[in-house]
């Protein structure tokens, strides 16, 4: 994988359901994987910076895992709420972003 790829492109989730989505990145020369949340009309906000293979990070109902050997990270949202609606971006280092996964949580 030469680029950062995110899938799916968009998700519709019912309030209360849990969901997860993927970021794939080059596994060579890895030093950091960033996750950001970007709500409409706001600036992207950092969620996690992950550096070690096997890293697991958690912030409230949102958590992320990292596999640097195979080049992927999962982001999980447990018990989705409407305020979780946003585009979630991952970035390999600081220079290469994925296209994002747009999450829409409906009441």
Partner 1 sequence: GAGVSQTPSNKVTEKGKYVELRCDPISGHTALYWYRQSLGQGPEFLIYFQGTGAADDSGLPNDRFFAVRPEGSVSTLKIQRTERGDSAVYLCASSPGTSGGTGELFFGEGSRLTVL
The mark string for 20-59 relative to partner 1 (x by CB under 8 A, - otherwise) is -----------xx-x-x----xxxxxx--x-x--------
Closer by beta carbon to partner 1, 42 or else 70? 42
34, 46 Cβ separation under 8 angstroms: yes
68 CB contacts (<8 Å, ≥6 apart)? 27, 30, 33, 52, 53
Instruction: Return the closest-CA partner of residue 81 out of 18, 21, 36, 31.
Output: 18
The distance of closest approach from Cβ of residue 5 to partner 1 in the complex, given in angstroms and rounded to an integer, is 10
Binding site for partner 1 (CB under 8 A): 4, 6, 31-32, 34, 36, 41-46, 49, 51, 89, 91, 93-100
């Amino acid at each position: 994988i030469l680029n950062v790829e995110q899938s799916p492109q968009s998700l519709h989730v019912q309030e209360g359901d849990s969901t997860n989505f993927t970021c794939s990145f080059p596994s060579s020369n890895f030093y950091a994987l960033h996750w950001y949340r970007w709500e409409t009309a706001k600036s992207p906000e950092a969620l996690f910076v992950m550096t070690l293979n096997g890293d697991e990070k958690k912030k409230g109902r949102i958590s992320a895992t990292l596999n640097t050997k195979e080049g992927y990270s999962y982001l999980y949202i447990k018990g989705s709420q409407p305020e979780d609606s946003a585009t979630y971006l991952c970035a390999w280092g600081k220079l290469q972003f994925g296209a994002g996964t747009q999450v829409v949580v409906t009441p």
